[in-house]
Amino acid sequence: MDTALLIWNRVISWTGIFRNIISDKDPKCTSAVWTNLHSLFGTKLPFSTAYHPQTDGLAEIMIQTLEDMVRIFCAYGLEFKYVYGLTHDWCTLLPAVELAYETSIHASTNQTPAIL
């Protein structure tokens, strides 16, 4: 229940209820927590096939992009104005990284991820 509550508070309350989460059959995504969440919200959990380049490649590109963005924030000591002053704490910077990613136009779709 703690995990489901965390997902509700940190993900769903910010982004909305997801229609699909594509998983590679990782046990973390097939656990009772995810099964119950999907049942509760009426969403689906489709699975990709093993080594499916179309889905795996897109996920890997997104992960690499986010890693690069966090690395740039940390490497160049970019300061972010936080409620209590300036910070270099990358955990505090993650919302800014997320906003930058979600509002940037991607060349492959000519749309922002937030629109899609």
* Cβ atoms of residues 43 and 19 within 8 Å: yes
101-114: pLDDT as tens digits: 888 888 878 888 77
> What is d(CA 26, CA 105) in angstroms, rounded to the nearest whole number?
30
Per-residue pLDDT averaged across 6-29, rounded? 68
* pLDDT attached to residue 46: 62
Residue 50 pLDDT > 60, yes or no? Answer: no
| Cα angle 86-93-73, degrees, rounded to a multiple of 5 | 90
74-84: pLDDT as tens digits: 776 666 666 66
Q: What DSSP designation does 19 have?
A: S
Per-residue pLDDT averaged across 36-47, rounded? 69
Chain mean pLDDT for the chain:
70
Return the percentage of the chain with pLDDT > 90, whole number.
Answer: 0
> What is d(CA 79, CA 94) in angstroms, rounded to the nearest whole number?
12
* pLDDT attached to residue 100: 82
